[in-house]
């Protein structure tokens, strides 16, 4: 007796549009030109990254269509800026002084101009999202979404042009712009906003834009303060510890984690305002920040500290006080602020996906950091304060995911945990630089 095998059904491959193939062709042409033009200045690792980036970008563009338009616009604008610079050369390379003479560079495409536009667009986007939430206007939220896309585009243009500018100063100065707080906060801005925009489309809701763009605006506010207070927008040579190709992959992987954790925390905050009773909200969101203000003011008044430390404590007291007052308004008006939020299962799923993705990249970044430490300092782990706090962050989210997957963690506990996790992550990133010293002291504020 013979049997005839019945073929199993297979999923049909998605049909690709003309724009899909045009996008792929543009990416391949651009990659080929870049390799032909600059391969002599690259080592084998950099050549491999360049060649591998082409299929990765094509796949991402095919997976999420808006990335195709974003990539084409950003690439065209960056090439235009490079062309404007390249038309005016000095003894080494492009004459960067021309950025103050040509209109398009001065007011749009030079790196600092583009990043300032990014900041303006982030603030404007946040404002429109909040207007949309308060007035229950879909059109206002739609404008906020478009402005967020524009902010991401200007951030990427600024990053690419700054990368080019750094190479025009001197042969030993050029580097990928992820080396100081100014540059990584630009990275944090566009990554967090872009992740949010993906989830906005994935879950077909703009109601979370008001909350997520708040944390992006806070990052931009810090970026502007740091730029003007420390002149951090000026391109500087890398310190020896950062002169490593590990930096090019360790830092971006870290900031995928930071961006996802920040997004998850803001979703958790919105969930708490939507579901929790008033009493724990007042204690957790209002009394705690204002209590920290009292503690900081007490240290400043009676701690016998240096004047510079006292000034710093006063500054942080004002920040915590402002946060506490804002959260008090959110708690008092929570019904109005949360009426347009999606259903709780959607919020819970979005938070979980963001933390899971962030944890995966943060794990990779921690492993890469260990390899970098072995190369730079001779050991994979030294219990440096930055390393210790990175481990605390990793353990915090590992425990969150374990409780979620093994014990079905949901609801208020999961939300509070995610919010507190952002505080832990913020201290690991900024607080360690401010209050502790160690092998990572080159990143002090």
SS3 179: coil
Radius of gyration, CA atoms only, the chain? 24
Total residue length of the chain = 445
Residue 1 has a pLDDT of: 45
Contact in structure between 354 and 266 (CB atoms under 8 Å)? no
Contact in structure between 161 and 109 (CB atoms under 8 Å)? yes
Crossing angle of helices 181-202/344-377, nearest 10°?
150
Q: Closest by alpha carbon to 187, among 256, 111, 242?
A: 256
Rounded distance between C-alpha atoms, residue 164 and residue 114, angstroms: 14
Residue 42 has a pLDDT of: 76
Q: Tally the C-alpha atoms within 13 A of residue 170's C-alpha that lie toward its C-beta.
A: 6
Rounded distance between C-alpha atoms, residue 207 and residue 239, angstroms: 43
Q: Tally the C-alpha atoms within 13 A of residue 34's C-alpha that lie toward its C-beta.
A: 20
Contact in structure between 437 and 384 (CB atoms under 8 Å)? no
Rounded distance between C-alpha atoms, residue 421 and residue 401, angstroms: 12
Rounded distance between C-alpha atoms, residue 365 and residue 385, angstroms: 17
Q: Closest by alpha carbon to 178, among 92, 250, 89?
A: 250
Residue 440 has a pLDDT of: 57
Residue 4 has a pLDDT of: 47
**Strand runs (DSSP E) across 320-425, as ranges?**
none
Contact in structure between 161 and 104 (CB atoms under 8 Å)? no
Which residues face 95 on adjacent strands? Answer: none
**Angle at Cα 377 formed by Cα 372 and Cα 379, nearest 5°?**
80
* Cα separation of the two ends of the chain: 80
Residue 74 has a pLDDT of: 95
Residue 180 has a pLDDT of: 87
Rounded distance between C-alpha atoms, residue 174 and residue 181, angstroms: 17
Rounded distance between C-alpha atoms, residue 350 and residue 247, angstroms: 30
Which residues contact residue 419 at a Cβ distance below 8 angstroms, ignoring those fewer than 6 apart? 265, 268, 269, 272
Residue 345 burial (CB < 10 Å; 0-12/13-18/19+)?
exposed
pTM over 0.85: yes
Which DSSP symbol is given to 283?
A: I
| DSSP line for 53-118 | HHHHHHHHHHHSTHHHHHHHHHHHHHHHHHHHHHTSB-SSSB-GGGGGTSHHIIIIISHHHHHHHH
Kindly list the averaged pLDDT for each block of 10 residues, start to end, along the chain of length 445: 48 75 94 84 80 93 94 94 80 76 91 96 97 94 97 97 88 84 94 96 94 96 87 83 83 94 97 90 87 78 69 74 88 91 94 97 94 82 86 96 93 94 90 66 53
Residue 193 has a pLDDT of: 97
Q: How many CB atoms lie within 10 A of CB 283?
A: 11
């Amino acid at each position: 007796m013979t049997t005839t095998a019945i073929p199993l059904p297979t999923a049909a491959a998605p049909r690709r549009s003309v724009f899909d193939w045009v996008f792929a062709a543009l990416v391949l042409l651009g990659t080929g030109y870049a390799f032909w033009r600059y391969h002599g200045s690259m080592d084998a690792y950099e050549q491999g990254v360049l060649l591998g980036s082409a299929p990765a970008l094509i796949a991402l563009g095919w997976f999420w269509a808006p990335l195709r338009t974003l990539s084409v616009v950003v690439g065209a604008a960056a090439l235009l800026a490079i062309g404007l610079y390249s038309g005016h050369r000095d003894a080494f390379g492009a004459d960067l002084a021309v950025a103050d003479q040509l209109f398009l560079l001065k007011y749009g495409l030079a790196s600092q101009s583009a990043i300032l536009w990014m900041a303006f667009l982030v603030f404007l986007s946040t404002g429109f999202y909040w207007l949309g939430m308060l007035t229950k206007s879909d059109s206002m939220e739609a404008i906020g979404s478009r402005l967020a896309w524009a902010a991401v585009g200007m951030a990427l243009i600024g990053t690419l042009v700054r990368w080019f500018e750094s190479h025009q100063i001197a042969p030993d100065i050029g580097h990928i712009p992820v080396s100081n707080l100014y540059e990584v906060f630009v990275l944090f801005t566009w990554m967090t906003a872009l992740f949010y925009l993906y989830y906005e489309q994935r879950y077909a809701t703009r109601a979370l834009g008001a909350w997520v763009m708040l944390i992006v605006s806070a990052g931009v506010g810090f970026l502007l303060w740091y730029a003007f207070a420390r002149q951090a927008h000026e391109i500087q040579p890398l310190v020896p510890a950062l002169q490593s190709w590990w930096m090019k992959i360790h830092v971006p992987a870290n900031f995928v984690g930071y961006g996802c954790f920040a997004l998850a925390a803001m979703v958790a905050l919105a969930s708490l305002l939507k579901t929790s009773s008033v009493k724990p909200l007042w204690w957790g969101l209002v009394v705690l920040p204002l209590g920290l203000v009292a503690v900081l003011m007490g240290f400043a008044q009676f701690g016998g500290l240096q004047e510079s430390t006292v000034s710093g404590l006063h500054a942080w007291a004002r920040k915590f006080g402002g946060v506490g007052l804002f959260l008090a308004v959110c708690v008092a008006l929570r019904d109005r602020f949360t009426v347009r939020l999606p259903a709780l299962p959607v919020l819970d799923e979005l938070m979980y996906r963001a933390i899971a993705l962030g944890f995966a990249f943060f794990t990779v970044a921690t492993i890469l950091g260990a390899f970098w430490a072995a190369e730079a300092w001779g050991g994979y782990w030294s219990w440096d304060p930055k390393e210790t706090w990175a481990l605390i962050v990793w353990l915090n989210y590992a425990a969150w995911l374990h409780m979620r997957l093994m014990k079905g963690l949901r609801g208020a506990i999961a939300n509070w945990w995610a919010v507190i996790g952002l505080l832990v992550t913020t201290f690991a990133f900024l607080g360690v630089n401010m209050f502790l010293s160690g092998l990572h002291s080159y990143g002090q504020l």
